[in-house]
């Protein structure tokens, strides 16, 4: 018997592998949670630094980065295993969705090096440089995190005829 009471035979059965499929199908929702956690940590980090709580700020910003990194792993895993999901809406709602999606994707790419640099500067105690960069980085990163949740909601939960 393996740890947890499952035998090797049970783990090699079809039901074990079906649970992997369920995980892949659940990744978009899990990824949206990671985006939401990132946004909440960013908000908390902003409030913390404005109130002079540097240690809490650092903890929340590193947590935001960790949640964003977990999102990226989940996103890449889902995309590589299940492919992309097409938006089922039409007309103006599709235009809104695509605008949000493309702005989210472009700003995610632009923001990543800014986030890495801001984290590096803060970690090294180069706070003046960190502040100058963070003024631009924070709103972009927050936008990317929030629009990640909105894109998920529109893609998987917006009632669309024919779905």
Q: Answer whether residue 66 is part of any domain.
A: yes
DSSP string, 54-108: HHHHHHHHHHHHHHHHHHHHHHHHHHHHH-PPPP---THHHHHHHHHHHHHHHHH
Phi, psi dihedrals of residue 119, rounded to the nearest 5°:
-65, -45
Distance of CA 12 to the CA centre of its chain: 32
Q: How far apart are CA 152 and CA 35, in angstroms?
A: 10
Q: Answer whether residue 17 is part of any domain.
A: no
What's the domain range around 92?
Answer: 23-157
Q: How far apart are CA 119 and CA 139, in angstroms?
A: 15
Average pLDDT over every residue of 148-161: 90
Q: Count how many domains the chain has.
A: 1
Supply the pLDDT for residue 21: 64
Q: Answer whether residue 140 is part of any domain.
A: yes
Q: Answer whether residue 9 is part of any domain.
A: no
Q: Answer whether residue 120 is part of any domain.
A: yes
Q: Answer whether residue 7 is part of any domain.
A: no
Q: Which of 101, 76, 75 is nearest to 154 (CA)?
A: 101
Residue 8 has pLDDT above 80, yes or no: no
For the entire predicted model, the pTM comes to 0.85
Q: Answer whether residue 142 is part of any domain.
A: yes
Average pLDDT over every residue of 27-45: 98
Residue 7 has pLDDT above 50, yes or no: no
Residue 34 sits in a domain whose CATH number is 1.20.120.80
Is pLDDT larger for residue 38 or for residue 160? 38
pLDDT band at 22 (very low <50, low <70, confident <90, very high): confident
Q: How far apart are CA 101 and CA 15, in angstroms?
A: 35
Query: Left if phi > 0, otherwise alpha if psi is -120 to 50, otherwise beta: which for 162?
Result: left
Q: Answer whether residue 79 is part of any domain.
A: yes
Alpha-carbon dihedral sign for residues 27, 33, 35, 37: negative
Residue 122 has pLDDT above 90, yes or no: yes
């Amino acid at each position: 018997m393996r740890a947890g009471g499952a035998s090797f035979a049970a783990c090699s059965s079809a039901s074990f592998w079906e649970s992997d499929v369920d995980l892949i199908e659940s990744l978009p929702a899990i990824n949206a949670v990671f985006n939401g956690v990132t946004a909440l940590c960013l908000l908390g980090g902003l409030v913390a630094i404005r109130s002079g709580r540097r240690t809490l700020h650092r903890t929340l910003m590193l947590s935001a980065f960790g949640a964003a990194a977990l999102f990226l792993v989940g996103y890449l895993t889902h995309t590589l295993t299940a492919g992309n999901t097409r938006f089922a809406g039409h007309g103006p709602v599709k235009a809104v969705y695509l605008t949000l999606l493309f702005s989210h994707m472009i700003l995610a790419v632009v923001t990543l090096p800014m986030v890495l640099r801001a984290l590096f500067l803060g970690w090294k105690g180069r706070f003046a440089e960190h502040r100058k960069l963070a003024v631009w980085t924070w709103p972009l990163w927050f936008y990317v995190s929030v629009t990640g949740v909105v894109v998920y909601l529109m893609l998987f939960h917006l009632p669309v005829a024919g779905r």
